[in-house]
Chains A and B, each alone.
Chain A
């Protein structure tokens, strides 16, 4: 994904252009959804994280220092808001201890048999891998900087980890 493009969309949105804002929402909804789920959140808690994150971007929009890095800004904010939801939940009812995990396997109903086997293969990859692969399906593509911020891993490890995760998946699927 071109960072410059994000910067341009932010500049246009800040000037009040709803089409630019819509493009930002289209571009980063997958990122926010994946991050909230990676904290084990579901249902209304995911909605809360995503809504709060977008409202925070809107409140910062007029003064956002580095518009081209808005994707990473959203990732950091979504992580912080996910942690805040867990804290609030912890205050409301004592938790038995929470470990952030990627949400359990999800099986949609698939028309194609291969899609089913991909989903089955996905269940065998580590949670980290699954989160990274989910971020890899975002369209337009997220930058490695955005993915590294979303997952809290060093920038240099995104490419190699992605390669390793895809390799694991290939083996499981029995494809070269």
Chain B
């Protein structure tokens, strides 16, 4: 028996990849934003050593080219700050869908009833650019 024949027989011995996993992979493509500036996670209090972590609110910082987003997660609420301050639409993205609000004049924003699980924030300032944060678990 060749290796190939043996491997062919192995195929039936492992659990098949569940269809739902393929489905989440396919669905991820809907979130592609080719032109957005990505702000990646630079600090997450949840990753800090236990003594420093200190429960809620959990503070996180995202940094990208010429942009910074600071947020605090407390319960199901996110309070955040876009820097430099800009008047922007703020869109909360989660696998379940999108929800929007706006920043105030100083770049601050509040999102309530944030769904548990994966979320990402998308900012659309008036100048037509867009900034998106990495996905985080809240």
Which residues from chain A sit less than 8 Å from chain B, CB to CB?
A: 13-16, 18, 21-22, 25-26, 28-30, 32-33, 46-48, 50-52, 54-63, 84, 88, 91, 106, 108, 110, 112, 114-115, 118-119, 122, 133-134, 136-137, 166, 169-170, 175-176
Contacts and interface: CB of A to CB of B under 8 A. Distances in A.
A139 B16 CA distance: 12
Contacts of B20: 47
A28 to B, nearest CB: 8
Contacts of B1: 170, 175-176
A164 B47 CA distance: 40
List 10 A-B pairs, minimum CB-CB distance, nearest first.
A54-B28, A25-B25, A115-B12, A119-B13, A51-B24, A21-B29, A118-B13, A54-B25, A29-B17, A106-B15
B28 A55 contact: yes
Interface string B113-133: 000011010000000000010
Given A25-B22, A29-B21, A51-B95, A16 B118 contact: no
Contacts of A52: 118, 135, 137
Interface in B25-40: 25-26, 28-29, 31-36, 38
A115 B135 contact: no
B134 interface: yes
Identify which of B10, B22, B34 gathers the most chain A CB atoms within 10 Å of its CB: B10
Contacts of A166: 3, 6-7
Contacts of B10: 118, 122, 133, 136-137, 169
Interface size band for B: 35 or more
B10 to A, nearest CB: 5
Given A16-B34, A58-B31, A169-B6, A50 B12 contact: no
B12 A112 contact: yes
A169 B114 CA distance: 50
B57 to A, nearest CB: 16
B137 to A, nearest CB: 7
B21 A46 contact: yes
Contact of A16 (B26, B31, B32): B32
Contact of A58 (B15, B16, B18, B29): B29
Nearest to B134: A59
13 contacts: A15-B34, A16-B34, A25-B26, A47-B24, A51-B24, A59-B132, A59-B134, A62-B38, A106-B15, A118-B10, A119-B13, A133-B10, A133-B14
Contacts of B33: 59, 62
A55 B118 contact: yes
Given A55-B31, A60-B38, A110 B132 contact: no
A112 B11 CA distance: 12
Given A25-B26, A55-B28, A59-B132, A115 B137 contact: no
A48 B12 CA distance: 25
